Amino acid sequence: MKNRQVLLRHTVTGRPTPEDFTVSESVAPEAREGEVLVKTLYLSLDPYMGSAIKGRHMSGAVAPGGVMPGETIGRVVQSRHAKFREGDLVQTRAGWQEYAIAVAPDPHASGMAAAISRAAHPLAAAAHVPLSAYLGVLGMPGLTAYAGTLTCLEPKPGENIVTSAAAGAVGSALGQIARNMGARAIGLAGSEAKCAHVVQRFGFAACINYKKPGWQDALAAACPGGVHGYSDNSGGAVLEGVVNVLAPGGRIMLIGLMDQYNTSERLPGPALGPFIGKRARVTGFVVYDHYARLGEWRRLGATWMGEGRLAFHEERIDGLAKAPDAFSRLMAGETMGKLIVAVARE
Ligand SMILES: NC(=O)c1ccc[n+]([C@@H]2O[C@H](COP(=O)([O-])OP(=O)(O)OC[C@H]3O[C@@H](n4cnc5c(N)ncnc54)[C@H](OP(=O)(O)O)[C@@H]3O)[C@@H](O)[C@H]2O)c1
């Protein structure tokens, strides 16, 4: 059996391009005692991979020549472990390849070690939820939105909860979760098309294009009483603009630095005065600390999806060979919603 893989060609310094990757073919491995061989159906492409190829992500670096990492959903095609049968649907971290070896979850592993392991987790998908959604809105990005909203933003009814990258996987889920908890969801996104999508598809109260002059005034007008909670995905000028319209006691969750993922230098940060003046609470957030809540989020999220209270949007790419180009677009901000590679037919 042939195993197509996408390898990192060399360590990347700037914004990734398709030339930074190479597609190679080898023979698929055989499962040994205690292992399973998983055929990938869907692969998730995520911004953290942009840090990993620069050797800067907490989950580890990708060495030149190494297989790109990534969350996947697949089927067991060969089992040498009593807990798995051929045909079982599993979630694992096979990376950018068609076949991978996985093992049973280590009951003693927790936190990041468990989240980034090569364990295969049986997946019981709800009938009304597409399989790929378990990599997006009901996967790692959705868990980021859910656990972050509950533990950092703590929205109260009527409060203004703002997220940047609102059309993306994390932001679109976060705004809907805050809205479903009674708050007003306000988005920030990088184009008029993204803003229209955020309001029409995800039901945010408003969405502001931060690339348009005067966006801070538009944000202030959309948030009477100020910003009570803000989830920041980018850092830089957008974070600076939002802290200037914080409500007293505002909560800020720092979850990502899109502005820095594509550069090798550090960008200047915002002035800290407004944090102090507003007695704001700023919290750093790492999803790996919250995997114990994944089952809770999947049950609630799937219920909301059934009730029409949680929408999601995927950009689906057919075939592993197109992953490098899709990933380059993700890191350039040119994608909308959760980026999924359909590697094989379900
Ligand atoms: N802390 C954690 O545990 C954790 C877990 C998951 C994800 N994250 C972070 O959450 C953020 C969103 O992740 P996601 O999966 O939902 O991705 P995504 O939003 O689907 O895609 C990234 C988006 O970032 C925005 N962006 C802002 N500044 C940018 C810049 N300088 N260059 C390129 N894009 C820029 C773009 O949207 P606009 O055009 O609308 O600006 C782009 O579409 C990322 O920063 C990610 O690393 C953190």
Cβ of 256 below 6 Å from ligand 1: yes
- Separation CA 93–CA 116 (nearest Å): 7
For the chain, which residues make up each domain, given as ranges? 2-136+313-342, 140-288
Confidence of residue 229 (pLDDT cuts 50, 70, 90): very high
Cβ of 230 below 6 Å from ligand 1: no
Cβ of 255 below 6 Å from ligand 1: yes
Domains 2-136+313-342 and 140-288 share a fold: no
Indicate which residue's Cα is closest to atom 25 of ligand 1.
165
Give the number of the atom of ligand 1 that is nearest the alpha carbon of residue 167.
40
Indicate which residue's Cα is closest to atom 38 of ligand 1.
190
Give 175's contacts (C-beta < 8 A, 6+ positions apart).
161, 163, 166, 185, 186, 187, 198, 202, 204
Q: What percent of the chain has pLDDT over 70?
A: 99
The predicted structure's pLDDT at residue 266 = 65
Fold of 2-136+313-342: Quinone Oxidoreductase; Chain A, domain 1 (3.90.180)
**Contact predicate 76/84, CB 8 Å:** yes
Cβ of 235 below 6 Å from ligand 1: no
**pLDDT tens track for 191-224:** 999 999 999 999 999 999 999 999 999 999 999 9
Task: For domain 140-288, give its CATH number from 3.40.50.2300, 3.40.1640.10, 3.40.50.300, 3.40.50.720.
Answer: 3.40.50.720
The predicted structure's pLDDT at residue 294 = 96
Residue type, 300: L
Mean pLDDT of all residues in the chain? 95
Mean pLDDT of 331-345: 97
Give the number of the atom of ligand 1 that is nearest the alpha carbon of residue 144.
5
